[in-house]
Structure 1
Amino acid sequence: MKSWFLRVGDKLSASYWFVPTIMAFAAVVLAMAMIALDGYAGSAWMQHVSWLYAAHPNGARQMLSSIGGSMITVAGTVFSVTIAAVVYASGQYGPRLLTNFMRDRGNQVTLGTFIATFLYCLVVLRTIRSANESGGYSFVPNIALLVAVALAICSIAVLIFFIHHVPSKIHINSVIEDIGERLILEIGHRFPRFIGKPLAHGAGEARIPATFGKDASSEEANQRMLIAAKRTSYIELIDGDTLIDQARRHDLVLRLQYQPGDFTHVGRTLVEAWPPERCDDEAARVIRDAFSVSSRRSALQDLRFLIDELVEIAARALSPGVNDPFTAVTCMDWLGAALSDMAGRELPSHLRVDDDGMLRVIAHPETFDGFMDRSFGALAQYSAADMVAALRFIRALGEVSLDCDDPDRLALISGYADKLEVLAEKALGGFNLERVKQRADELRHALREPVYKRRLRDSAAWLGGTA
């Protein structure tokens, strides 16, 4: 159930109808409240305010009709502009970025403001009565009219904001910044928070049941209950609390076969449970329901999705049809910042225990190597064909190394410089190739020394130039 609420909340935040609907409903409630206040207080108080005049029925109708008609017209224009911007961004930067623009709160509030103002005027308009329409008694909700004027002024301010907001939001640097900031934020939230509590490295391998061991015999391997998927789609999120609770309640050890962002289809095993006799049908159903699926990937629990978005933008920018290396440079800057943050973190074990220290879940291991391969490994082939991108690729590796103290991770970073140089030798030549090889040598030479951080920081050649 928790996974369902998380998924629905994520879908609502990326919809164009939810926020406008809430604002429209609030406008109707506000209109009824102002009408009731007018019925109670009347408009006699306006005689004591020199700059206010009580409106007559015909004038009130004309004012509300003008405001309401203009608001619905502007709302249609705003919707058209928003859709055009979304289509442009989707085609220019990649279809997977469509959700990022639909999630933009500014566009949602702008559309909601005009619709809410229109509905407010519509509800107030129907309550205005002249004397010949109601047996000699007229009713003009003057307080509600003042609120309508205030809403119209707010709508004008929102329109000015929208005119500025749309072009700034689809600017490529703003798009990359939004993705990069969310990636860094998710890294901070996710590590070291996992399903359950992680075991220390090397402390729990002996506690893994024999059926899940690499050298398990056929007889041992059969001692598992396979919980299969019921839908074909992408895994959007996994309710870790439910998995731990079910594993503890039934004294099970669960091994997950998929992680958020993976694609599965009907019949594929989602989870293996041991011992099988303790996992009844109800427990299997609850465990299966802990996996929430969707027609597309999202960043809800999938760091790889955000990395893939930056890689996709950079790859498109470096394609021969676009040839925009500086957009790719911006993507690598943000990837370097995210991996720098991750380089200084201890990634917990994939073995997760409950509050009593009992092994309950064997999740997919998430490693620094895996994230580096997903980002810089995927971009190496594109960056190697352009000198500007290749130099910034190497510099980004250097930025990552500044936050890294693990020798294995430093060797990994140096290895990506080697891979880029090999690819560059096939794609570049002459001066361009010499620059790339020189910068790669500088990075490798610095990483081999104990004071590599100072060497990188103090190197004028490293900090200057196009890289």
Structure 2
Amino acid sequence: MALTGRWLYVLQRLTKRMWFRASLYCGLAVLTALVGVVVRPVLPPGLAGRFGADSVGNILSILATSMLAVTTFSLATMVSAYGTASQSATPRAANLLIEDNGAQIALATFIGAFLFSIAGLIALSTGIYGDGGRMVLFIASVLVIVVITVTLLRWIEQLSRFGRVGETINLVEAATRRAMHTRAKAPWMGGVPFEGPPPDGVPIEAPDVGYVEHLDMEQLERVAAAHGCNLHVLALPGTLAVPGRPLAIVTTALDEDGLKGVRDAFSIGDSRTFEHDPRYGLVVLNEVAVRALSPAVNDPGTCIDVISTIVRLFVEWSEARARHAGHAEVRFPHVHVPELEEADMYDDVFPSIAREGAHMREIGIKLQKAFIALSRLEYAPMRQPVARHSRETLARAMATMTFEPDRVDLQRTASQGAWATQVPEERPAADGTA
């Protein structure tokens, strides 16, 4: 039976753990080292000496020594990259580096090659291989060396950018894009549109305090269908579950099993995740931009890069929503789910950047150009909040900037928007003149 819902989510999270892939590679390496014991009776005698397989012990010794050093170096480099990403970008992005496929494959390959060498040496010392077994081990050792060489070359290339701010932004962008595309295809997560909680509904609160990481829609549908009621979700992934804040509201009171089924459908953890929470990726990008504008970092170029990334994500979100409009599949007709509000997504990123960069001409102009680009999108919900954010951003800048040419340039850029931007009243100068 295929894994679905909550258990599939748990398995997906498990496979992203660094130890999981390393354990798989280690098990495969040990099996590869011992396969010669099984195959040796099939091979004719004398092959080992003809192909030089008698030297396999020396090869394995070199592999064991070198792979231990490479593994130690790689671990030290990765830990250093995590610290660099946490300090220069944001600690929330470090998890993406930990879950990076390239880094995990490299580390798992090196550890697996080390265990392959150790297992082979131990088996050789016991004499269980024989002539044919040594031949198989020799061929396996050559293949392992090829895999190590390819992995090491790719790892060297990745190390040149691993943990850098630009690479971290790219990782966050990719994770956010995946989550946004998934939600754009299914804005109600397979359920039906949420049109407000029922007035006589029964609220169901979370048993623990934490962030909603995942919704098991199949389980919610089973519970609702079994009790002949409709279930209205109030806590989407990324919502902080606290006492007094319902996870959902049902139209009929449920028994203990039903209440437990609903609560178990909400996976609650200590922190937000990228997979099912598009807004979390936007929050992390916002943190990178705000930190870049701090006096300690003072890197407006990174902030401008983040603004461009955010605009790109919003454009793709707009295109995906327009493309899938009216085609959302309803798989869970008893579960009502609210869709993401574009205004909330804007609030996740623009106000903080506008506040921290209010005194910078280049940040203000970049933000206004971003608003102009977003105002031209065909997807109407993406256009509606633009005018408000443009006016607020301009007001912040006008209240902070003192150099008149910068103020004029910013006003000129803001006036190019498709909306009628109201320029705030000029502040009186220090000497009382306008």
Q: TM-score, normalised by structure 2?
A: 0.86
Q: CA deviation at 1:169?
A: 2.9
CA distance in 2, matches of 1:129, 1:179: 49
Q: Secondary structure at the match of 2:378?
A: coil
Equivalence for 2:396: 423
Q: Secondary structure at the match of 1:169?
A: coil
Residue identity matched to 2:223: Q
Matches within 5 A, 1:66-81: 66-81=62-77
Equivalence for 1:250: 227
Q: Is 1:198 equivalent to 2:153 in the alignment? A: no
CA distance in 2, matches of 1:348, 1:152: 48
Equivalence for 2:20: 18
Equivalence for 1:239: 216
- Stretches of 4+ moved more than 4 A in 1? 137-140, 346-349, 352-356
Q: Is the 8 A contact 2:14 2:20 kept in 1?
A: yes
CA RMSD in angstroms comes to 3.0
CA distance in 1, matches of 2:400, 2:335: 46
CA gap of 1:106–1:411, structure 2 versus 1, over 3 A, is: closer
Q: Secondary structure at the match of 1:389?
A: helix
Equivalence for 1:260: 237
Find 1:186's aligned residue among 153, 165, 179. Answer: 179
Equivalence for 1:220: none
CA distance in 2, matches of 1:189, 1:139: 52
Q: Secondary structure at the match of 1:293?
A: strand
Q: CA deviation at 1:46?
A: 5.5
Equivalence for 1:171: 164
Equivalence for 2:152: 159
Residue identity matched to 2:174: E
Equivalence for 1:394: 368
Deviations 1:120-147 (A, max 9, x none): 12222223259xx89xx87861220232
Q: Secondary structure at the match of 1:388?
A: helix
Of structures 1 and 2, the one with the larger relative CO (CA 8 A, separation 6+) is 2
Q: Is 1:335 equivalent to 2:331 in the alignment? A: no
CA distance in 1, matches of 2:143, 2:354: 55
Q: TM-score, normalised by structure 1?
A: 0.80
CA distance in 2, matches of 1:348, 1:159: 42
Q: Is the 8 A contact 2:203 2:248 kept in 1?
A: yes
Residue identity matched to 1:238: L
Deviations 1:342-398 (A, max 9, x none): 33535999xx99669x6x334344222121222223322123221111111111112
Equivalence for 2:203: 226
Residue identity matched to 2:376: L
Gaps of 5+ in 1: 214-222, 450-467
CA distance in 2, matches of 1:342, 1:147: 48
CA distance in 1, matches of 2:310, 2:234: 28
Residue identity matched to 2:222: D
Q: CA deviation at 1:292?
A: 0.3
Residue identity matched to 1:37: V
Q: Is 1:9 equivalent to 2:2 in the alignment? A: no
Q: Is 1:40 equivalent to 2:47 in the alignment? A: no
- Structure with larger Rg: 1
Equivalence for 2:264: 289
Q: CA deviation at 1:424?
A: 0.3
Q: CA deviation at 1:266?
A: 5.5
Q: Is the 8 A contact 2:210 2:241 kept in 1?
A: yes
Q: Is the 8 A contact 1:243 1:290 kept in 2?
A: yes
Matches within 5 A, 1:48-197: 52-55=51-54, 59-128=55-124, 141-193=134-186, 194-197=188-191
Deviations 1:139-172 (A, max 9, x none): 8612202321331343233223222212323232
Gaps of 5+ in 2: 422-434
Equivalence for 2:425: none
CA distance in 1, matches of 2:120, 2:166: 44
Q: Is the 8 A contact 1:337 1:399 kept in 2?
A: no
